[in-house]
Amino acid sequence: MAQSKIVHVPDSAALPELPLAMWKDTQATLHMWMQIVGKVQLKLTPLVNHWWNVSFHLTARGMETQALHYPGGTLQMRFDFIDHSLLLSTSHGETRTLPLRPQTVAGFYREVMQALHELGVEVKIWAVPVELPDPVPFEQDTVHRSYDREAVAKFWHIFSWADAVLKEFRGRFIGKSSPVHFFWGSFDLAVTRFSGRRAPDRPDADFITREAYSHEVSSAGLWPGGGSIAGPAFYSYAAPEPAGFAGRPVGPSQAFYDPTFKEFLLAYDDVRRAISPRDALLEFLQSTYDAAADLAQWDRKSLER
């Protein structure tokens, strides 16, 4: 039998456009749905440093929680962005599948909590979204109700591609590093490197921020955009930010420091149009990390391969 030929498609041919205006309503709705599932995970997991217990991990079809232990069994919840469904499954072999379709946040919240009840998972969450201005409790949110399957598929495709490059970048570091994971509160894919030193106390910070930034970090990731950022953007920041960080030259040439966000940003559109999107993103990740680590005097010899 003749072997099939493997055809390698350049990254630039595989990465779609996704301006925020194209799916703003869907993005807002999906954000709320993911917060509902994320809050179930938060309730059913012990705290892990820097809130790593709350994040989702990417799969071949979407995103999923970790194994969630409840009295009498184990639960896992998976967003499938190919079949467009939320799958709830337990260690007893029981499942519930909820279709992802245009519906209100309030309706989705009721369906999720009913499915959990039917599976014997009794969990009470604080049913209010986080990291947003003027949050509306889930059960009262009848405004967000959009679901554009094509846009969500593009979102998933873009973040899946970024996941691979971020994991390649993570592999260069042998110090303490987070996994590449998706935070449902800020709605971004992130990877974080640590110097090994504690960060100065933030007396005005809340409990969430103090836990997240208890140690020096250089963090990077991908965000779908918002506010003045009209589409997906890669970001990189240092916390605490060392003197001179904002003025440090980084690559590629389209990258810039945003004083409002206090981050270096690189538009996804600039990456996907590059001759090699992978190389452009890796240049951004490496050069912004170099800026953070050099200026903060990290012990790079012991932290890197």
Pair (190, 118) in one structural domain: no
Pair (154, 297) in one structural domain: yes
- Verify cis geometry, omega within 30 degrees of 0, for the bond prior to 252: yes
Pair (199, 257) in one structural domain: yes
Q: How confident is the model at residue 2 (pLDDT cuts 50, 70, 90)?
A: very low
- Helices 149-170 and 20-43 cross at an angle (nearest 10°) of 70
Q: Provide mean pLDDT across the span 193-222.
A: 90
Considering the entire predicted model, what is its pTM?
0.93
Measured distance CA(180)–CA(171) in Å, rounded: 11
Q: Who's near 101: CB < 8 A, 6+ residues apart?
A: 84, 147
217: left (phi over 0), alpha (psi -120 to 50) or beta: beta
Residue 48 CB: number of other CB atoms within 10 A? 12
Pair (80, 159) in one structural domain: no
Which of the listed residues 108, 140, 172 is the one where a domain comes to its end?
140
Pair (153, 128) in one structural domain: no
Task: Determine, yes or no, domain membership for 255.
Answer: yes
Pair (58, 175) in one structural domain: no
Pair (71, 185) in one structural domain: no
The string over 194-210, giving b where at least 16 C-beta atoms fall within 10 Å of a residue's C-beta and e elsewhere, is bbeeeeeeeeeeeeeee
pLDDT in tens, 147-183: 999 999 999 999 999 999 999 999 999 999 999 999 9
Identify any residues that bridge with 264 across adjacent strands, giving them in sequence order: 236, 257
Pair (213, 116) in one structural domain: no
pLDDT in tens, 9-57: 455 557 999 999 999 999 999 999 999 999 999 999 999 999 999 999 9
Total of domains in the chain:
2
